[in-house]
Structure 1
Amino acid sequence: MSQSPAAPAQPQVPARRSFALVGRSRTLDPTRFAVRSDLADVRLADQVFAPHYAAHQPRRAAAAADLRTARAADSAVLTTLAPGDAFELLDVTGDTAWGIAPASGFVGYVPAAALEEQP
């Protein structure tokens, strides 16, 4: 009578851990935290849930540009970037860039044409 070879041992799979949201969600000020309904700064991944995260791309203002609360040209101005000011680019849609002005800490929208790559 022949014996069939033993089946290879199955690797131990660790028990699945679950994650739970606890407490109330907090609303973050969108002019101070780079969080939108569709995108967030990856540096906030441990604080907020977003469908997508983006790592900032360093840019600087090539010309003076108003940082606004929304894409609309008539939206409120948060601050004005001076030529040479740093800007942390997170998204470009059409002709508008969204990101952070680190000098002021404001998050908003500027014309994409007003930005250039840092050397």
Structure 2
Amino acid sequence: MSGAQRETTEYAVPAGVLGLKGPVEKPAPGTLPLRGDLAHIALAGSHLAAHYVIPHVRTVGTEGAGLRLAPRADGEIFATLPAGSRFELLDVAGEWVWGCPGPQGPTGWCRASDLASAES
């Protein structure tokens, strides 16, 4: 589409940034919001993914939220997000949500009920 204008968002990738150069070291699990199937839109200029997601910004509920590497109750909590902090929701799987406080991580699964109710 010659001459098309790009929409800007909080995480818009600047024009001309795309053009990955060679292999990129795979980050450790729980660090960057990057999986085999999707990544945070802010990583579009530096990491290759099948799908990039613009996050839905939510707030961690009053009890805080524990991040896990897998969406399972018996998964070890490796990071804790304080109540009232920002949570960028990137994926939903039943009662579990995958996301991060921001594109720098940490990234993991928590229960959807750990987040404050979405405002209408």
Aligned to 2:55: 56
Q: What does the per-residue CA deviation read over 1:4-48, in whole Å, with 9 as the maximum and x for residues that have no partner? A: xxxxxxxxxxxxxxx986533421123111001111001001111
Q: What does the per-residue CA deviation read over 1:55-107, in whole Å, with 9 as the maximum and x for residues that have no partner? A: 111111123321112112222212222321221111111110000034x9311
| Structure number with larger C-alpha Rg | 1
Q: Which runs of 5+ in 1 are unaligned?
A: 1-18
How many Å separate the matches in 1 of 2:35 and 2:119? Answer: 25
What SS class does the counterpart of residue 59 from structure 1 fall into? strand
Aligned to 2:7: none
Aligned to 1:86: 86
Task: Decide whether aligned partners of structure 1 residues 78 and 21 sit closer, same or farther in structure 2, where only a CA change above 3 A counts.
Answer: same
Let me know the Cα RMSD of the aligned residues.
Answer: 2.5
Assess if the C-alpha contact under 8 Å between 1:60 and 1:118 holds in 2: no
What SS class does the counterpart of residue 43 from structure 1 fall into? helix
The runs of at least 4 aligned residues of structure 1 exceeding 4 Å deviation read 19-22
Deviates more, 1:72-81 or 1:90-99: 72-81
| Greater fraction strand | 1
Identity of aligned residues (%): 35
